[in-house]
Amino acid sequence: MKNRTISVVAQSNRDFDSLEQKLTEAAEWIELAARQGSQLVVLPEMVNSYCGDGVGNPRAIPSRQAALRDWQAETTLVREAARRANIALALPVTHIEEDRLCNSFFLLDKNGVCLGRYDKAFPTPSELDEGMLPAKPALMEWEGIALGGAICFDTCFPEVIEEQAAAGAQLILVPSLWPGGSQLNHFARQHSMRFALAYPAWSRIIDIDGKEMASGGFRHETLRFGFGVPVYTATINFGRVALYGNHNQEKIKAISQKYGDRVRISFDQENVLFFLDTTDPALPEERVIAEFDLIPSRKYFEDCRRAVQCKRI
């Protein structure tokens, strides 16, 4: 078992009177996530954009004008709230760096130390017109977990996810201003990765079986009427493993007979995938995998791909 508790915030995309007002509300949700036991909280894309959707909104501020010149100083309110609450934070901002417009999120640990950043790999046409350049994803490490990223439009391009999966990503953080689509559920199952999508209308946390562990947002009329909180939290076992049927399926009965309720096994018939995790902290999943010579699905398919490539003329 390797449990980590994650929260995604569906902060409203309404117009705020000022950046300070929006950051004050974001700080409230960060503190609430911490009280729910969360260790990492993800905010929606462009927390510095405080005048809602730019489409048809006369108050909307162009991205370059809204971009922060000193993101650390200008986001002190939320960074300090996270540090006081002892929670890590994925902080998404547009900012100016050497006159270049960047759409990024910064990963801050529970002490406020920056562990790394992710820059948008596929800027939209309008972002390209404003001078934003595409970036290459790089993984970050948090609490023993390999984290990758995607920002909004990035999730429309499978190569963004595939490259990070090949590099060993276990969780993809997705600050977004679009819902991410059913492809996130597909990517989760295909690559045995988790996703934490923070989107105003419907945030989601997705496990390796493609199923949502937590979800919600301002599609709920209750939230729009001012009731409830837009913070969605789930505890993920990063030891849980997906096993394709081939090679593994003949071992399942023996595992169940030996370990009983110390091991939890579910089966996705349509995708021929077994999902295995342990309920006993003294029995790590790695031990069961080694004992029964199991092959996680990501490794199985990588091995098959290499075998085929070697045989091709």
The partner residues of 101 in beta bridges, in order of sequence, read 96
N-terminal to C-terminal alpha carbon distance within the chain = 44
Name residue 61's amino acid: I
Answer yes or no: is pLDDT of 311 > 90. no
C-alpha to C-alpha distances, 294 to 170, 192, 245, nearest whole angstrom: 19, 15, 10
Mean of all residue pLDDT scores within the chain: 95
Answer yes or no: is pLDDT of 201 > 70. yes
Question: What is the value of pTM for the model shown?
Answer: 0.95
Of 276, 290, 259, nearest in space to 1 by CA: 276
C-alpha to C-alpha distances, 50 to 10, 23, 56, 205, 228, nearest whole angstrom: 14, 9, 15, 25, 21
Judge contact between 120 and 128, C-beta under 8 A. no
Is beta strand 3-9 parallel, antiparallel or unpaired with respect to 40-42? parallel
pLDDT tier for residue 279 given thresholds of 50, 70 and 90: very high
